[in-house]
Structure 1
Amino acid sequence: MKSECIEAVSLAVGRSLTNEEIKGIETRINRNMRQLATADREAWQQLSQAERLTNAAQSAAEEIIQEAEKRRQRVALTIAAHDRVSRFLDDRMATGVDAIDAFSRMLAFHADTKGNTMSVETTAKAIERDALRQMLETLEQGAARLKDDPSNWAKHFFGLLENKEGTQAVVRELFGEESGVAGAREGAKQFHQVAAALRERFNRAGGDVGQLEDWGMPHHHSRAKVAKAGREQWAGDVMPYLNRSKYTNPDGTPMNSQELMEFLGFAWESIATDGVNKLNPGQFRGAGMRANRGNQARQIHFKDAESYLQYQAKYGERTLYEVMVGHISSVAKDVALVEALGPNPDHQFRLWKDKLRQDLTLANPDKAGKLQQRLISLENLYDLVTGKHQPVANEHLAKTFDTLRNWLVASRLGGAVITSLSDEGTMHLVAAMNKLPKMRMLANELRALNPRNQMEKRLALRAGLAMNTYIASLNRFGQEGLGASFSSKMAQTVLRASGLNALTEARRRAFGVTMMSSIGQLSRDARTLGELDPGDYRILLSKGITDTDWEVWRRATPESWNAGNPNVLTPGAIYRIPDDSLTDLGDPAVLRENAATRLLGAVLEESDVAVIEPGAKERAMMMANIQRGTWKGELARSFFLFKSFPISMIERHWMRGMDSPTAGGRARYLAMLIASTTLLGVVSMQIKEVVKGRDPLSMNPEADGGMRNWMRAMLMGGSLGLYGDFVFSESTQYGNTPIGAMMGPVVGLAESSLNLTQGNLIQALMGKDTHAGAEALRFVKGNLPGANLWYTKAAFDHMIYHELQEFLSPGYLAQMRRRAAREFKQSYWWEPGETLPDRAPDLSRVVAE
């Protein structure tokens, strides 16, 4: 059979086959026979065996020709990528940037202006947002909406549940079925268009992903659930859901149940082992060519939407909404990688890592050990940017700690919105550096906070701005990849209910709109990048903006949103540039994509500095080489909970401040940073005290405790950011030791539990008054999700909590008063145990001696 296959394909190609092409020739012929048989089974069965072989050989020949063309394309793209990286490293080293540091800037965003490139991380994020902004109908069908179910207003307002009916309606439309839900058809159309555009962009960069005729939406399998079910159980469950017409034998006959079960057994093995079954022991293996991702056998064909939904309910672990958004994010990351490093970025990275090791070791043999450590850190950063991670060692342990961390977010950050006032300081500082009009940004923020101003909100979403709420990210707190668990939704609910999500998105949106408006105006005024103000030129150049990008921006017609934003340059404005206006610059489609990606990337980078959001560089410092599902890995992740914000503050603002070319500029930036965040920290701290029923703290440096209060304000406002919301919370003041607090909330929780049990037992044995009942009540309240929401805290404490405390431990409230007076020099404007206050807060305490 093999010789016949070789002869038939050689005849179809018109030449002798190479040894590489001969490998697997029978498998290629059989696969094409199945595909041709599936396309028209009746006609196929009427053909003779010789005719079937000829037709399959012709299809195989076309494949071989296309593969040869794709190989030539990939060779050219790989050479171009290698030369591009080489030129970039040479250019950066000429300015004094270390080669390893320079390569890390290609991978992840650095807040200084030494990169002169847009990183893979930023490019992927920009491509993702560019895609998501074009599928708002899809996203809105998946978001819980009050008008769909007014009776469940609380669920929809707080976002506790997704809109399952809307999401399922989109899935039905994706499978070509009528859903009867308004907007679902448009949502499905948008998703397919965006997915197709990303696939085409991926293929232009060297990818090879074809379009399946019956592709509805991406499949998702829970490896753990599939593995636990076992081969026979899983195959038996899946079989009724399949479109049997898609499974044929080479002779055109449909697979019988036994043959299909055998096929599904191989599929189960691949899913359950995450591809380990395909390894050849002892053979070198990398991750494979990135450009081939998505072209692996996609052979699970569901017969209809209901079958897909039932399978996902049983063997998925993400919501349908997360599956769609996750697919877009994954492809965006692949596109960014292959565009930056060529069709095989893993190979390109290994090549450069080895070359850097060799060159730098030869130059400084005595520093080989330190060099190796830096290269390991570089590889960890690469793995994080590319989405590589170690498999979960123990699913149960990982989910237990995820639930615990989500629970702590829900119970400890009810007042985080007050602490986030320091974002105003960093936002205006970054605006000043970018020469953005501050009053316009303030007006944009006020408009963003207006819930009735839905038109501008939609304009911002269509521009790719303020989409974090749709993505449901908790990255600020070091808790990401939340999934669909109840605890994650509970954490999101508390952050929504506290107002933190709305305020954070308003700030991001205001900054993004103001920057897009400023870029739009600048592109009208300056004909080239070189004509810009030196500060503006330096910032845009640091983000890899080229003269070609600038020219494309100039040829776009900005959008007019309102009197304050008359020239907003958006990705949509760039995509509306007609082809004939760009042909003199190159391929119009590529030019528009690149210009839109770099516009969004530049704005998103600055937004993440203005309203701090940890990036890959910061996450690599905290989470590199940490395996989930191990005690070491989970405790390390727990240690960094709430610490990602202060680490990002240091990495982004202190790095940017030190990047100023003059000593005066560095001092000015850092002074403005410390002053603004500390003053806003004072405001945050005093609001928190008043909300707790206490008079403001004295900020008089000469007063007892005054300097300590300024230090607390600095920590809360800037240096420790939102971590200050935990360090100076009641649970720390009244429960944890400083070491327990610094080790993170999980260790702090364990310490509090130990004090409550063992500590009280020891006190009782020593004959001391334990106040065990009141302490147990405080422990429960401190760890009860939503109990510490800033706007209900005082009323709840005084009307319920204090009464229970005094009942369980008489004299406990008097001890609270004495401690506040002794340690914090404070009095209460709303006395503990009193149902209503008898006076207003004494604001004169702020300057009291």
Structure 2
Amino acid sequence: MTTFFQCIDNAVAGKVLKKKDGDRLKEDYRRFRESHANTAPAAAKELARQDLLQDLAAQAAHKRRQAKLAIDGARRLDADARSHKTAAGRSDIGEAFLDTLEHFGTGAKFSSVVGRQKSILGMAHARMEDMLYHFRRGAVAGDLGRHNAADMKNVLREAFGVDTGDARARALANVWMSTAEWLRQRFNAAGGAIGKLDNWGLPQHHDPRALRKAGLVTWKGYIRPLLDTSKMRSPLTGKAVDEKDLDGILDGIFRTISTEGWIDREPSRQAFGKGALANQRAEHRFLVFRDPDAWLKYQEDFGGGGDIFSAMMGHIGMMSKDIGAMEVLGPNPGGTIEWMKQVLAKEAQEIAAGLKQGTLGKADASSALDAAASYSRRLDTVWGSIRGELETPVNSKWANILATGRSLITSSVLGAAAISSISDTGTSAIARRFAGISARGTALDIVKAFVPSERRLAVQSGLILDAAAHTFHAQARYVGTLAGPQWASFIADRVLTVSGLTPWTQGAKHAFGLAFQTEIGNHVGAALKDMEPVLQKTLRRWGFTDAQWDKMRQAPLHEGQLLRPAEIASQVDEKLAEKYLEMVQTETGYAVPDSSHRSKTILVDQNRPGTLIGEIIRSGAQFKSFGVSMVFMHGMRLHNMIAGGEIAAGVAYTGSLLIMTTLLGAAAKQMKSVTSGKEMQDPRDAAFWGAAILQGGGLGIYGDFLFSNINRYGGGFKSTLSGPLVERANDFWNLTAGNVIQLASGEKTNFGRELVKFARGNIPGGNIWYLRLAFERTVLDQLQYLADPEANAAFKRQQQFWKREYGQEFWWKPGELTPG
């Protein structure tokens, strides 16, 4: 009689099964048989066969469901792409596919991956607002010391089902668990398979380097007693896992994590990523720790730290990203990207052969192949940025060293960036008017958003709390992502916070979002066709139909004013609420320009950290991301207006934006002059207004060259263009090796003066706008007197330079302890 193992071997020999699949079936059968050996030894083989068949049937059903979701998704994406029209009225499936990844409300009437991700994250933050407020960051302490941090361990214990007697901690744990369960259900509905567990606790993070360092035997010996196998279930069948099963399962988990997934991949000529997103994340629920102390112990030793709040927020962020990608692109988004590229290639070939025309915008037979290749590359690039692959270092050692340098430069240079951000008042007012929102009281709304009650209302209204969203990778609007070692990015993040830039940016975003929801709330009494034309146009531009608006306005207003996504989701339609929130959040990007995947990749393309080109580009791009985003967002809007025949409206929009940002840029320049000890510049100078234009657009440093070939930090145009990291490296070389060479050559050195000058531009926090001047005059200038015998002459030359190049006198002169 042929045994089960012989049947498997025959199937492998006949190439019906791959060897690795055959080995897996043997191992599963062996585990099932051993699990029944003690309880029913006579029937162990038959019971194992039944278990295996049940397991295979569940897997097959799950794969069929994923396949159906993938097919339905591809049909929807194809229909959206072929019905999409550019602003000029042309069909362009390449533009439509890019808009599917990320768009800015410029014509696409379907959701994008990024838009869906943000709306899900916003809804998650709204659900967790009570917790986010309770554990909010302090002004200085940051992630290392949140408000009420002592309560966090009780929340952890309650999440594991331990009764602490702390009613507040229990309520917060329930908030976390209900949000995590909501995300689990959304993930499964999109094609995933994460099992439900009561008192699950928190997700675990695994550091592959820590696992590799420990080795399989040590790691298994460490984690095994920390786990509760009685609560571990198969995500597909719900079948319990026993101690005998656990050994083989841990082997598989170690191999997968320590090789970062490569154990299950076979080298081929085709590009591949981590596989279907729907098949990931289940491990976070499968491994269940015995108690909160066991979870915390594992996180401290093998998870990269024991930050409970970060673990929660990281899980919510990753789940939101995965769900958004799966709901828009299907269970295997990477495969859908490949499908899109093949659709583009097919269209281009047919156009080139003269069999079709008009599906790739302006592309004709001579340019169709190039257009498809360009779109395909952009799809790979933007998708890589969304997935985070473009920020994965090629050489982590050098990437971390250079990222540390950029973070420290940020902390020593952007202390006055909060003054530059007053231009948000202008962009917010213009963005409000364009969307159909009253611009009256824009500045007051931003200031009001600093009030805790207003901030809480904003988060409850689905407006993302950046301090919670970027727990692991801090975002800085003038920089991009603060990557690298945590300590360096932490310093930069704290400087941006205490200088006022981060709170101002958050306040400006929340103020716009609340104003938008209030304006919409003011119009729930009218049908869409009867609404004010500008606001009606905004809703139709985002694809809202009369019927959808009629459904939305059935939701009750919050405090009689705001039409919030929360009420729409709970009482009308959750997907409609998220579409509404996607519109609000994306339009906010015009009011407060921030880094986007499409704007960021214009600069870095596919060049990853840790490569020569990747690091050169990142250095050159530092402090330019805001300007690029500003031009990209508003430039795209202007282009669409002109392409759509709204030339007069486009000119008016550009003129209004230019006037507002220039006036506010001029105000920022004057404020910066005063806070650096100088009198204000003469506004009658034409060059001043040229610099104000660049200041308002986020490129203020280039405005310096309208007056002089030296920027405000002493560097020339070439060093400014190459970026501050190269500039600082050059300064350090001159300070060290340069002075040694001068000394060896018998030349005069100015080491003391150069050392103090280097310190002025490189002390973290030394450039914070309200502290900088006093620090320079009372500390650094006095140090220069001690280190530089010619300090007086140097201070006089400094005054002469600013008088000659910028026409400015000092109200607090360099070297003097008190102002004049």
Q: TM-score, with normalisation over the residues of structure 2? A: 0.86
Choose the corresponding residue for 1:356, options 344, 350, 370.
344
CA displacement 1:604-626 (0-9 Å, x = unmatched): 10112101111121122233322
Structure 1: distance between partners of 2:188 and 2:241: 34
For residue 801 of structure 1, report the CA deviation from its aligned partner: 1.9
For residue 536 of structure 1, report the CA deviation from its aligned partner: 2.6
Compared CA separation, residues 226 and 165, structure 1 to 2 (3 A): farther
CA displacement 1:483-506 (0-9 Å, x = unmatched): 771222211111111111222222
Name the aligned partner's letter for residue 753 of structure 1.
F
**Alignment partner, residue 810 of structure 2:** 828
For residue 50 of structure 1, report the CA deviation from its aligned partner: 4.7
Compared CA separation, residues 709 and 28, structure 1 to 2 (3 A): same
Structure 1: distance between partners of 2:425 and 2:431: 10
SS at match of 2:764: coil
Choose the corresponding residue for 1:599, options 567, 572, 580.
580
390-399 or 188-197, which moves further after superposition? 390-399
**Alignment partner, residue 293 of structure 1:** 280
Compared CA separation, residues 507 and 236, structure 1 to 2 (3 A): same
385-394 or 412-421, which moves further after superposition? 385-394
For residue 93 of structure 1, report the CA deviation from its aligned partner: 4.5
Structure 1 position 84 matched with structure 2 position 76: yes
Choose the corresponding residue for 1:195, options 180, 185, 191.
180
Equivalent residues of 1:207, 1:292 under 8 A apart: yes
Name the aligned partner's letter for residue 541 of structure 1.
R
For residue 168 of structure 1, report the CA deviation from its aligned partner: 3.2
**Alignment partner, residue 114 of structure 2:** 121
- Give the gaps of 5 or more residues in structure 1: 8-17, 38-43, 146-153, 561-565, 583-591, 701-705, 839-849
SS at match of 1:614: coil
Structure 1 position 698 matched with structure 2 position 677: no
**Alignment partner, residue 644 of structure 1:** 625
Structure 1 position 340 matched with structure 2 position 322: no
**Alignment partner, residue 516 of structure 1:** 517
Equivalent residues of 1:727, 1:742 under 8 A apart: no
Structure 1 position 98 matched with structure 2 position 92: yes
**Alignment partner, residue 568 of structure 2:** 574
| Aligned positions of 1:179-328 closer than 5 A | 179=164, 183-213=168-198, 215-243=200-228, 255=243, 264-282=250-268, 287-295=274-282, 300-317=287-304, 319-328=307-316
For residue 238 of structure 1, report the CA deviation from its aligned partner: 3.0
Name the aligned partner's letter for residue 626 of structure 2.
F
Equivalent residues of 1:109, 1:616 under 8 A apart: no
Equivalent residues of 2:117, 2:321 under 8 A apart: yes
Name the aligned partner's letter for residue 486 of structure 1.
W
Equivalent residues of 2:399, 2:484 under 8 A apart: no
For residue 27 of structure 1, report the CA deviation from its aligned partner: 4.7
**Alignment partner, residue 108 of structure 1:** 102
CA displacement 1:139-187 (0-9 Å, x = unmatched): 3454446xxxxxxxx744x665446534333222222224565633222
Name the aligned partner's letter for residue 638 of structure 2.
G
For residue 206 of structure 1, report the CA deviation from its aligned partner: 2.6
Structure 1: distance between partners of 2:241 and 2:335: 42
Compared CA separation, residues 236 and 722, structure 1 to 2 (3 A): farther
**Alignment partner, residue 149 of structure 1:** none
Compared CA separation, residues 496 and 742, structure 1 to 2 (3 A): same
SS at match of 2:384: helix
SS at match of 1:459: helix
For residue 683 of structure 1, report the CA deviation from its aligned partner: 0.5
Compared CA separation, residues 726 and 568, structure 1 to 2 (3 A): farther
SS at match of 2:697: helix
Equivalent residues of 2:117, 2:323 under 8 A apart: yes
Choose the corresponding residue for 1:620, options 590, 601, 617.
601
| Aligned positions of 1:141-160 closer than 5 A | 142-144=135-137, 155-156=140-141
CA displacement 1:747-791 (0-9 Å, x = unmatched): 111122233335545666787764321221121121101111111
Structure 1 position 785 matched with structure 2 position 789: no
For residue 647 of structure 1, report the CA deviation from its aligned partner: 0.7
CA displacement 1:435-460 (0-9 Å, x = unmatched): 211225444333223x4xx3332222
Choose the corresponding residue for 1:757, options 736, 739, 751.
736
Structure 2: distance between partners of 1:612 and 1:27: 54
SS at match of 1:413: helix
**Alignment partner, residue 467 of structure 2:** 469
For residue 346 of structure 1, report the CA deviation from its aligned partner: 2.4
**Alignment partner, residue 383 of structure 2:** 382
SS at match of 2:440: helix
Compared CA separation, residues 480 and 182, structure 1 to 2 (3 A): farther
Structure 2: distance between partners of 1:651 and 1:252: 53
Compared CA separation, residues 506 and 721, structure 1 to 2 (3 A): farther
**Alignment partner, residue 457 of structure 2:** 459
Choose the corresponding residue for 1:653, options 609, 634, 642.
634
SS at match of 2:191: coil
Equivalent residues of 1:416, 1:725 under 8 A apart: no
SS at match of 2:481: coil
Compared CA separation, residues 179 and 395, structure 1 to 2 (3 A): farther
Choose the corresponding residue for 2:157, options 162, 168, 172.
172
Structure 1: distance between partners of 2:284 and 2:205: 14
SS at match of 1:812: helix
SS at match of 1:568: coil
For residue 655 of structure 1, report the CA deviation from its aligned partner: 1.4
Q: How many residues align?
A: 778
CA displacement 1:414-444 (0-9 Å, x = unmatched): 1110011111111100011012112254443
Structure 2: distance between partners of 1:173 and 1:722: 52
Alignment RMSD: 3.5
SS at match of 1:733: coil
For residue 192 of structure 1, report the CA deviation from its aligned partner: 1.4
Name the aligned partner's letter for residue 356 of structure 1.
L
Compared CA separation, residues 837 and 286, structure 1 to 2 (3 A): closer
CA displacement 1:73-127 (0-9 Å, x = unmatched): 434433322221122122124831422111100111235x222222111111110
Equivalent residues of 1:646, 1:722 under 8 A apart: no
CA displacement 1:8-38 (0-9 Å, x = unmatched): xxxxxxxxxx999x9765555556678xx6x
Structure 1: distance between partners of 2:43 and 2:706: 77
| Aligned positions of 1:444-843 closer than 5 A | 444-449=445-450, 451=451, 454-465=452-463, 467-472=465-470, 473-480=474-481, 482=483, 485-526=486-527, 529-560=528-559, 566-577=560-571, 592-660=573-641, 661-700=645-684, 706-718=685-697, 720=699, 732-760=711-739, 770-809=749-788, 810=790, 811-838=793-820
**Alignment partner, residue 407 of structure 1:** 408
Name the aligned partner's letter for residue 666 of structure 2.
V
SS at match of 1:789: coil
SS at match of 2:712: helix
Name the aligned partner's letter for residue 542 of structure 1.
R
Equivalent residues of 1:466, 1:505 under 8 A apart: no
Structure 1: distance between partners of 2:783 and 2:173: 54
**Alignment partner, residue 356 of structure 2:** none
Structure 2: distance between partners of 1:98 and 1:488: 41
**Alignment partner, residue 13 of structure 1:** none
Name the aligned partner's letter for residue 621 of structure 1.
I
